[in-house]
Amino acid sequence: MPKPKNVTYLLGAGASAESLPVVSNMKGFYKPYIKILKDFIPDSERWYTLRENFSELCEKIIKHNSPDTFAKKLWLRGNEGRKIIELKYFLSGFFLWLEDVLSIEKLFYFSDEIIGSDWGGKIISTSIDLRYDSFLATILQKNKSGEPYPVLPNHINIISWNYDTQIERAYCDFFSQKTGIEQAVKHLKMYPKPHYKVNIETEGTQTLFDVKVVKLNGTAGDFISYEDSKNGNIRIYDGETSEEKLKKILENNYQFLKKQANIDADSTMNEVMNIKTESPFLNFAWESENPISKKGVDLAIAIMEKTDVLIIIGYSFPNFNREIDKKLLNAFWRAGSGKTIYYQAPQPSLDGLVRRLKGLTDSQFHKQIIPYDETDQFLIPYEI
């Protein structure tokens, strides 16, 4: 039997579009999120402090094409470390709310305001994009060690640009006993994993042999608990309701805002991290001074180098990720003979997205890019 080809899935926001709004539809959700926070904040001082901070951030995010664009602008300035952390706190709570706290009833409550902005009228009916369910049911294998959890096959890897926990949540349903996100991260061999030791001067200890799934931008709702100015530990608030997690995010955010009175407004990111605190584990892959981000990119490049078939789902290759995307694609095409890219996205946007991908790819490989416009299920090509 021939050895199976190495297959990698590269996921963008469109891979979660049946559960979460994509960037173009997201702006209408920011202000409703701020409105509901009073239900999660115990006293008026905290409510006032967070409301003022979030309202300011919200106005600035809305003026940009995406939160990532705003974050990249702050990072390029080089002295906006404090504001980047504030933005990460805001987005951590916001994405957790979107994914797991916002109910259909609350969505209808805000429907006029949301539809009146950038909503587009689509009601999302489940906290998990069900395409992940059928995708995992197809590719997962029984654990040969006899343990009661399935595993990804050796020849399949996943690289995700998404902050959400759609993969982890869908995977939890495949256990024979109730489990949480932390165990899902562990058994999926996801980078970075809980209790992963962080040192701001090193890149940590996870290697390609430990990793099957790389999340380039980290995860909304997870935190790095800093023990001192250099060392930290990634924490997942597992075993708690989403409402309890959101309350913890907001409390950590409030404590950071109190402590930041001692931080110069023009501080660098490393200067900000010298304060012992819990900080959002939501990264941006282009944060080159961040060892977790750098390690994630290095692992993704290593995966791409050994990939024969690349399946891109719902990723638009935005300009602010261009440097990283070129590194990943160059690694993939390094031994270009016999390699294939499938690009899955809906029409009419697919043709433009394929042209954008070809703009990042040497013309000799253009014929090896295959568009695929059916999006009711994730593409599972014959090579698998």
Nearest to 315 by CA among 351, 357, 281: 357
DSSP structure class, residue 280: E
State how far the Cα of 381 lies from the Cα of 378, in Å rounded to an integer: 10
Q: Which residues contact 52 (CB under 8 A, 6 or more apart)?
A: none
Q: Please state the length of the chain.
A: 384
Instruction: Give the per-residue pLDDT at 378.
Output: 97
pLDDT at 209: 58
Spatial CA neighbour of 192 closest among 170, 179, 171, 211? 211
Return the structure tokens found at 321.
């990720």
> Would you state the structure tokens that stand for residue 64, as one six-digit string?
């940009």
Q: How far apart are CA 131 and CA 179, in angstroms?
A: 21
Cis amide linkage into residue 148, ω under 30° from 0 = no
d(CA 72, CA 46): 28
Check residue 135 and give its pLDDT. 97
- Write down the residue that tokens 């991290």 correspond to: 273
Cα torsion angle, 232, 169, 205, 163, sign: negative
Q: Identify whether the C-beta of residue 375 lies closer than 8 Å to the C-beta of residue 129.
A: no
Q: What is the structure's pLDDT at 345?
A: 95
Q: How far apart are CA 149 and CA 59, in angstroms?
A: 44
Residue of 284, 321, 327, 322 whose CA lies nearest to 302? 327
Q: Which residues lie closer than 8 Å to 337 by C-beta, 6 or more apart? A: none
The pLDDT tens digits of the residues spanning 202-241 come to: 444 555 557 999 999 988 877 665 554 444 455 555 556 7
DSSP letter at 9 equals: E
C-alpha to C-alpha distance for 361 and 367, rounded to whole angstroms: 11
Q: Both tokens of residue 117?
A: 């902005």
Q: Please tell me the predicted confidence (pLDDT) of residue 138.
A: 96
Give me the residues of the chain with pLDDT under 70, please.
Answer: 1, 101-126, 176-178, 193-209, 223-240, 261-278
CB distance 310 to 341 below 8 Å: yes
User: For position 250, what pLDDT does the model report?
Assistant: 86
pLDDT at 21: 83
Other C-beta atoms lying within 10 Å of the C-beta of residue 264 = 12
Cα-trace Rg, the chain: 20
Those residues with Cβ within 8 angstroms of residue 353's Cβ, 6 or more apart along the chain or in another chain: 316, 317, 343, 345
Sheet holding 213-215, edge to edge: 190-191, 213-215, 156-160, 7-11, 309-313, 340-344, 369-372
**Are the CB atoms for 193 and 138 separated by under 8 Å?**
no
Furthest CA-CA distance within the chain: 67
Note if the bond before 42 is cis, omega within 30 degrees.
Answer: no
d(CA 379, CA 372): 8
Measured at the CA of 120, the angle between CA 115 and CA 124, to 5 degrees, comes to: 90
**Dihedral Cα 244, 123, 14, 206, nearest 10 deg:** 10
